[in-house]
């Protein structure tokens, strides 16, 4: 049987109908459909499916997001044209099977023993020989030999003018044609299973049963019935989020314009969520101990759900998909990063928000994430020096603070404790994301708090390093930052510094030093405004808000270049002394003992000055440190009723068998014509055909020549 791209030909009926049936049942049409399905599957793999529209707008832009959305590329596997192509592929392949099955079975039964003697001479594998036995005896001997080798044999006698001739027809490997049927049937079964387990049934209910997507908010119990699917829904696949100690019986089916709610015939109660981590901080196991409560019988069925080990009830499989925060309660301590505002404490729930007032402006604090374990890599790399003055510390500390699996150096992994992620959103809806670690960590020989910030999700976190005080806390830096923002305390620190630095009998020198200290502290605190810098690198803030950049800009504008280095040393020395007195005033105001003038204090002040300078570019008026938390975990299950699963499995088995049969089973046919000779012997002509030309066919033909015709290869 030879392959043909032509389809099924109707013997009667209209020409248009005949052409349509021929096209649908043709191989060229099926291959075209498979090509389109492969392209669509690639798109569905590359482009994340069922994401919020804003995600696609951010990724592709408003114009292309709208074009791709109308084409259904964000829901490829449930869009109408993809389902229609699957349906046409089922029809086309079924017609192809219907067209070829009779031919295959007819060819399966046929030995083609009526082939003419002259036709044997046209085969690539052919041989002739004279046998010292009459044709009938030779035919039976050859037939028995072939039967013993696993061939199916048929003998045919033909009357000739010179006597009785015999044709021996044998075949082997006819299962190759069964592989064709199995492979094509597998395509039909897989497509049918895909249609059953896909979104087709849900779409049909939306088209013909009045169901629609829900895009509002509120409690799940309050969602109207037109947005809910019945527990008897024959096929669905959705997500079910259950918090520890609670239960849920409603799955969420994501749609392009909202969600559908799938009511389950049972409730899933999460008793305990279990997660285990690798040394790198990546989860290696997460599992859920659940209890299934049947609504009809009241049965309580305990089960354990792990990745690749689902639970099943009433034909619905429950898979462990992922885990999430179940509404952990957090307590945050707010510290000012500029204005003279007293620290305050605020509490919230992950996933919730709180309203804040900052003078005339209002902010919304959104609690977005809590991580109780942060395993970081602290391997040393002497070639990477760290500039602690930089606000953007990502590049400088990447080798020490990056995830453990990202580094190629020797790993020194350490759990640095919990961290909190939150957003501050202004009245216009603009939000800045922050990531603060709860505990200090040692970097470059100093214990510091890390406070990360970024304005867009595509940016990396920029970390501000804040040195710990003598109590290993952040309060010392906060007091110094608040005192720097207080004009009265700055003036008092200036007077105290001048009084301590100059002898009392030199009032003129004291006044000059006081003026210099006042200028230095005013520049550093941002009280004395400077024009924006002109030669700032691209992407940096041109506004000089304060800190060391303000001091540097002042010197460049007012001091000749030849005297600039000496003037900067004097001004920075005066600034450091004034800031030290400012720190002492802050401690006095808080009722604490003065800082000793030792190396530890000097190191703290050196790092504090750099952190203070960077804090002017911190994108928020305050920072929030995690003070306490009550961790509540939630498990995300995927619940699925998949009636087509068995059909797909059967199709996969048939596909494996069919492909194996077509690729590894060779169909061979052999004919031996035995004609009588005048001397009583036989003249033998032999030919072999195979569906694939291989070296094995050559070797097999040579072996058959030796066995049957007694001809050496």
**Secondary structure (DSSP) of 168-222:** EEEEE-THHHHHHHHHHHHHHHHHHHHHHHTTHHHHHHHHHS----B---S-GGG
Tally of CB atoms within 10 A around 24 = 19
Instruction: Provide the 3-class DSSP secondary structure of residue 115.
Output: coil
Q: How distant is the alpha carbon of residue 621 from its chain centre?
A: 35
Cβ pair 466, 449 in contact under 8 A: yes
Which residue, 670, 689, 684, 708, is CA-closest to 124? Answer: 689
CA dihedral (259, 265, 271, 276) in degrees, to 10, reads: -60
Please provide the DSSP assignment of 596-652 as one string: PSSHHHHHHHHHHHHHHHHHTT-SSSEEEEEEEEE--EEEEEEEEE-TTHHHHHHHH
Instruction: Provide the 3-class DSSP secondary structure of residue 124.
Output: coil
Q: In this predicted model, what pLDDT tens digit does every residue of 555-570 receive, in sequence order?
A: 888 888 888 888 888 8
Cβ pair 273, 244 in contact under 8 A: yes
Query: What letter does residue 403 receive in the DSSP assignment?
Result: B
- pLDDT score of 685 more than 70: yes
Helix (H) or strand (E) holding 322, with range, is strand 316-325
Per-residue pLDDT, 467? 94
Beta strand spans in 66-179 (E): 125-131, 152-160, 163-172
Span 177-204, mean pLDDT? 86
The whole-chain average pLDDT of the chain stands at: 85
Residue that wins the pLDDT comparison between 388 and 155: 155
Q: In this predicted model, what pLDDT tens digit does every residue of 573-618 receive, in sequence order?
A: 999 999 999 999 999 998 999 999 899 999 999 999 999 999 988 9
Cβ pair 411, 418 in contact under 8 A: no
Cβ pair 89, 33 in contact under 8 A: yes
Tally of CB atoms within 10 A around 143 = 20
Which residue, 164, 171, 175, 174, is CA-closest to 113? Answer: 171
Per-residue pLDDT, 206? 86
Per-residue pLDDT, 204? 85
Band of residue 538 on the pLDDT scale cut at 50, 70, 90: very low
Percent pLDDT > 70 in the chain is: 89
**Poorest-pLDDT segment among 101-110, 536-545, 703-712:** 536-545
Per-residue pLDDT, 391? 41
CA distance 148 to 124: 25
Span 400-427, mean pLDDT? 70
Span 32-61, mean pLDDT? 84
CA distance 464 to 527: 22
Please provide the DSSP assignment of 413-437 as one string: EEE---EEEEEEE-TTS-EEEEEEE
Per-residue pLDDT, 468? 94
Residue that wins the pLDDT comparison between 301 and 504: 301
Beta-sheet pairing, 344-349 with 329-336: antiparallel
Per-residue pLDDT, 383? 40
Tally of CB atoms within 10 A around 626 = 21
- pLDDT score of 435 more than 90: yes
Band of residue 23 on the pLDDT scale cut at 50, 70, 90: confident
Instruction: Give CA separation, 470 vs 303, 475, 592, in Å.
Output: 52, 10, 11
Per-residue burial over 288-301, b if 16 or more Cβ lie within 10 Å, else e, is: bbbebbeeeeeeee
Per-residue pLDDT, 382? 42
CA distance 131 to 711: 10
CA distance 63 to 553: 44
Task: Say how many CA atoms lie within 13 Å of 46 toward its Cβ.
Answer: 8
Instruction: Give CA separation, 611 vs 162, 536, 616, in Å.
Output: 114, 21, 9
Tally of CB atoms within 10 A around 75 = 20
Query: What letter does residue 705 receive in the DSSP assignment?
Result: I
Would you say the C-alpha torsion 408, 413, 416, 418 has a positive or negative sign? positive
Per-residue pLDDT, 291? 96
**Poorest-pLDDT segment among 136-140, 395-399, 619-623:** 395-399
Per-residue pLDDT, 283? 74
Q: In this predicted model, what pLDDT tens digit does every residue of 240-265 receive, in sequence order?
A: 999 999 999 999 998 767 889 999 99
């Amino acid at each position: 049987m030879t392959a043909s791209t032509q389809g099924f030909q109707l013997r009667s009926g209209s020409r248009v109908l005949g052409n349509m049936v021929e096209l649908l049942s043709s191989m060229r049409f099926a291959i075209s459909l498979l090509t389109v399905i492969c392209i669509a599957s690639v798109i569905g793999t590359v482009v994340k499916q069922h994401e919020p529209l804003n995600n696609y707008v951010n990724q592709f832009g408003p114009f292309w997001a709208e074009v791709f959305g109308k084409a259904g590329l964000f829901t490829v596997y449930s869009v109408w044209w993809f389902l229609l192509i699957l349906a046409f592929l089922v029809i086309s392949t079924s017609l192809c099977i219907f067209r070829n099955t009779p031919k295959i079975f007819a060819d399966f039964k046929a030995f083609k023993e009526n082939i003419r003697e002259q036709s044997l001479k046209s085969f690539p594998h052919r041989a002739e020989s004279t046998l010292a036995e009459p044709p009938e005896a030779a035919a039976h001997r050859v037939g028995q030999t072939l039967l013993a080798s696993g061939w199916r044999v048929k003998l045919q006698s033909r009357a000739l003018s010179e006597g009785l001739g015999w044709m021996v027809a044998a075949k082997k490997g006819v299962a190759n044609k069964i592989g064709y049927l199995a492979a094509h049937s597998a395509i039909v079964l897989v497509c049918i299973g895909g249609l059953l387990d896909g979104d087709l049934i849900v779409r049909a209910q939306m088209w013909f049963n009045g169901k629609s997507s829900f895009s509002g908010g509120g409690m799940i119990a309050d969602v109207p019935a037109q947005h809910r699917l019945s527990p008897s829904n024959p096929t669905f696949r959705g997500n079910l989020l259950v918090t520890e100690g609670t239960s849920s019986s409603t799955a969420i089916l994501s749609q392009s314009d909202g969600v559908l709610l799938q009511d389950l015939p049972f409730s899933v109660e999460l008793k305990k969520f279990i997660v285990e981590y690798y040394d790198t901080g990546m989860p290696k196991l997460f599992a859920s101990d659940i209890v299934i409560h049947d609504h009809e019988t009241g049965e309580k069925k305990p089960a354990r759900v792990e990745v690749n080990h689902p639970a099943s009830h009433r034909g619905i499989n429950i898979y462990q998909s992922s885990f999430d925060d179940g509404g952990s309660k957090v307590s945050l301590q707010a510290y000012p990063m500029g204005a003279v505002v007293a620290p305050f404490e605020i509490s919230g729930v992950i996933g919730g928000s709180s309203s804040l007032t900052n003078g005339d402006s209002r902010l919304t604090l959104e609690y977005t994430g809590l991580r109780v374990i942060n395993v970081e890599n602290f391997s040393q790399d002497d070639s990477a020096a760290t500039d602690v003055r930089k606000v953007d510390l990502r590049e400088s500390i990447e080798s020490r603070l990056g995830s453990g699996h990202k580094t190629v150096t020797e790993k020194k992994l350490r759990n640095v404790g919990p961290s909190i992620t939150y957003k501050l959103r202004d009245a216009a809806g603009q939000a800045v994301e922050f990531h603060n670690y709860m505990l200090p960590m040692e970097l470059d020989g100093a214990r510091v708090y890390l406070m990360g910030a970024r304005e867009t999700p595509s940016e990396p976190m920029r970390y501000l390093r804040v040195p710990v005080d003598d109590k290993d806390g952040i309060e010392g830096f906060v007091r110094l930052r608040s005192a720097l923002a207080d004009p009265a305390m700055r003036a008092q620190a200036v007077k105290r510094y001048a009084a301590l630095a100059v002898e009392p009998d030199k009032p003129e020198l004291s006044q000059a030093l006081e003026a210099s200290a006042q200028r230095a502290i005013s520049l550093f605190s941002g009280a004395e405004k400077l024009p924006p810098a002109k030669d700032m690198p691209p992407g940096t803030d041109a506004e000089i808000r304060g800190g060391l950049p303000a001091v540097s800009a002042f010197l460049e504008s007012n001091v000749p270049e030849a005297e600039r280095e000496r003037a900067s040393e004097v001004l920075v020395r005066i600034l450091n002394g004034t800031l030290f007195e400012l720190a002492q005033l802050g401690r006095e105001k808080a009722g604490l003992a003065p800082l000793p003038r030792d190396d530890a204090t000097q190191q703290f002040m050196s790092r504090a000055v750099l952190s203070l300078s960077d804090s002017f570019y911190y994108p928020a008026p305050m920072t929030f440190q995690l003070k306490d938390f009550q961790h509540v975990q939630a498990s995300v299950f995927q619940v699925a009723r998949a009636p087509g699963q068995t059909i797909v499995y059967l199709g996969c088995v048939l596909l494996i068998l069919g492909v194996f049969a077509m690729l590894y089973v060779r169909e061979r046919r052999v004919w031996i014509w035995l004609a009588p000779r005048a001397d009583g012997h036989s003249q033998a002509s032999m030919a072999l055909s195979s569906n694939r030309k291989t070296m094995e066919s050559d070797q097999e033909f040579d072996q058959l020549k030796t066995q049957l015709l007694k001809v050496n290869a």
